Amino acid sequence: MSVTRSIGALALLAGLAASASGQQPAAPPAAAPPATPAFDVQVTTVEAVHAVVLPMKGSYMQHPDAFSRLGGYLSGRGVTPSGPPFGRYFSDPAVGEANLVWEIGFPIPAGVTVEAPFEIRDLPAAPHAVHVHRGPMEELGPAWGSLIGWVMGNGYQPVLPAIQVFKGDLTAAAEVEMRIAVQK
């Protein structure tokens, strides 16, 4: 996937801000009618990732600009990401929009160096509860509430940061892999 295509598609992340900033996680969903598919969650060990990130603070409405900055930086240095873009979210939305701490990033090959404000992160392999969200970006907020409800209801404790991995063409068919590290 090219950096340019990923950045253009990520303009839809503004919808994430509308659903996630300032909202508390929703309670787990009530029993669904038979025609509604179950909220599918898998607990799996997510592989380690070597990545470049751009640390951010404030509104999630900055996603498109942040991905544009990071993608432009990588393109300018001739670096091709080795995986899909992601966001990591460190704050509870209750802290208020101005105080949200998060970062966006791309997996990159080993040996790449960066300059401030960009940083290298080595994300360790760890068990995560994973749900693949397919649908409107505006539904991510409620989906996070359902994922956290599933985690707690199945005897796990969530461990921040929450992670979203953006896959495919988000302009045509959004697919966001929602991840939260878990421990018993």
pTM for the model: 0.79
Beta strands 126-134 and 49-57 are unpaired
Q: Once rounded to an integer, what is the mean pLDDT over residues 155-179?
A: 87
Least confident of 96-100, 137-141, 172-176: 172-176
Mean residue pLDDT of the chain comes to 82
CA distance 129 to 44: 7
Summarize the chain as % helix, strand, coil (round to 5): 30, 30, 35
Strands (E), 9-100: 42-46, 49-57, 86-89
Mean pLDDT for 42-51 is 97
CA dihedral sign, ordered 59, 1, 179, 118: negative
The 10 Å Cβ neighbour count of residue 28 is 15
pLDDT tens-digit map of 12-39: 233 333 334 344 334 444 544 444 457 8
For residues 163 and 7, give the distance between their C-alpha atoms in angstroms, rounded to a whole number. 18
